[in-house]
Homo-oligomer: A and B are copies of this chain.
C-alpha cells in the first residue's frame, strides 16, 4: 500500500535542517534572491534530503495567484471540446500557465459541483455560455476572471468567443437549399441552447422556398443516440432530402444506422452536422459539416482570459468567429422530383 503516508516536509522543516529562517528558505526555493554560497549549499541539501516541494495552496493564499487557468467543457468525448482545449492549452502554455480541465458531462444540474472543483484553484476560467444561470452568477460573485465560449452570450460584462450558431445554421441551410433539398429533418438536442439557434438559422435559409421541416430531439448529443433515433427519422413519412443533426456525433450515428438499414447516403438522403470534427473526414461517406472553429475558439478565449487576468482594461469583446460549410460526400444535389 502506498508508502507509509509520511507528512510532507514543510518550509519550516527545511529551515530547521538548514539552520536558517523560513523567510530565507522561501526566497531560496522561489529563486527570488541569492545567498552566500555556503547557505545556498545547506539550503539545497536540506531541500533535496527532505524531498521538499512548495505547497501551492499555502502559497496561493498569500499571493492570490495559482499559476493555473481552467476550462470547463461539457463533454470530454466530444471532439469539439477537445479541440477547444487544445487551442486554449497552447496559448496558456505560452504564458507559462497550466491548464486544468473539468468535464461537466453535459450535466446541467444547477449545483454543478464541477465549478466548485476549479473554483479558486485557478486564476481564471473559460466556461460555456450554456452553463445554467445560477452557476454563472456564483462565478461572478467570486470575482474570478472569466471568459465565455459559445455565442451568443448574454453576459455583456464579460468577453465571449465563438461562432454564431444562428449564422451557422443559415449557412448550412443555404448549402442544402442550393442542392435542391426541400424536405428536411433536423435532429436537435434541446439540452443545448445552441441547438435551437442552429435550427432557426436553418429555417431562415429557406424563407421563400417551400421548406418542409420535421424536428426531432435527441436525449444526448452522441453517436449512439444518433444511431438510436436514425431509424425513426429515416423510416417515417418517406425519405427526406436531407437530415441535419445538431452536431457531427449525432450525424455520424445517423450515417451508421442508414448503412445498416441499407439506405444510401448521399444518393437517397443527404446528412450533415455541425462542428466539423476531425473524424468527419474519416467516415464514409465523409461528412458535410459546418466548422465551428473549436480550436480557434479555445485559443482566442484563452488570449482574452490572459488579458483579463493581467488586468487589461479593454472593453469586453464579443468575438464572433467565422464558421464555414465544409461540403464533403454526405450531401449531394437531389434530382428534381417528378411532381405527380
A residues lining the B interface (CB < 8 Å): 1-3, 5-8, 51, 53, 55-58, 60-61, 67-68, 76-77, 79, 82-83, 85-86, 89, 98-103, 105, 113-114, 116-121, 138, 140-143, 145-146, 157-158, 223, 252, 255-256, 278-279, 281-284, 308, 311-316
- A81 CB → nearest B CB, Å: 9
Q: Which B residues are CB-close (under 8 A) to A255?
A: 282
A157, closest chain B residue (CB): B3
Q: Which B residues are CB-close (under 8 A) to A119?
A: 53, 56
- Among B76, B120, B145, B311, point to the contact of A56 (Cβ < 8 A): B120
Find the residue from A55, A120, A158, A312 having the highest chain B CB count within 10 A: A120
- A282 CB → nearest B CB, Å: 5
Q: Quick check: A256 and B283 within 8 Å, CB to CB?
A: no
Q: Quick check: A117 and B101 within 8 Å, CB to CB?
A: no
Supposing A8-B142, A53-B142, A86-B76 touch, asked if A101 and B98 sit within 8 A by C-beta, the answer is no
- Among B7, B86, B120, B314, point to the contact of A57 (Cβ < 8 A): B120
A102, closest chain B residue (CB): B100
Q: Quick check: A140 and B1 within 8 Å, CB to CB?
A: no
Q: Which B residues are CB-close (under 8 A) to A313?
A: 1
- Among B2, B7, B282, point to the contact of A256 (Cβ < 8 A): B282
- A256 CB → nearest B CB, Å: 6
Q: Quick check: B77 and A82 within 8 Å, CB to CB?
A: yes
Complex CA distance for A70 and B116, rounded to whole angstroms = 14
Find the residue from A1, A116, A314 having the highest chain B CB count within 10 A: A1
Q: Quick check: A1 and B308 within 8 Å, CB to CB?
A: yes
- A56 CB → nearest B CB, Å: 5
Q: Quick check: A5 and B143 within 8 Å, CB to CB?
A: yes
Q: Quick check: A89 and B105 within 8 Å, CB to CB?
A: yes
Give me 11 A-to-B residue pairs in the complex whose CB atoms sit less than 8 angstroms apart, sorted by A's number.
A2-B316, A6-B143, A51-B142, A61-B61, A67-B117, A68-B121, A76-B82, A82-B82, A98-B102, A99-B117, A279-B279
Q: Which B residues are CB-close (under 8 A) to A6?
A: 143
- Among B60, B140, B279, point to the contact of A3 (Cβ < 8 A): B140
- A329 CB → nearest B CB, Å: 11
Q: Quick check: B2 and A146 within 8 Å, CB to CB?
A: yes
Q: Which B residues are CB-close (under 8 A) to A2?
A: 145-146, 157-158, 308, 316
- Among B103, B140, B282, B315, point to the contact of A283 (Cβ < 8 A): B282
Complex CA distance for A312 and B5, rounded to whole angstroms = 12
Q: A51-B141, A67-B116 are in contact. List 7 more A-B contacts (CB 8 A).
A: A1-B315, A7-B143, A53-B119, A55-B120, A57-B120, A76-B76, A121-B121
Q: Quick check: B101 and A76 within 8 Å, CB to CB?
A: yes
Q: Which B residues are CB-close (under 8 A) to A103?
A: 85, 89, 99, 101
- Among B60, B76, B82, B117, point to the contact of A98 (Cβ < 8 A): B117
Complex CA distance for A119 and B54, rounded to whole angstroms = 10
Find the residue from A76, A83, A138, A256 having the highest chain B CB count within 10 A: A76
A287, closest chain B residue (CB): B282
Q: Quick check: B98 and A100 within 8 Å, CB to CB?
A: no
Find the residue from A103, A114, A282 having the highest chain B CB count within 10 A: A282
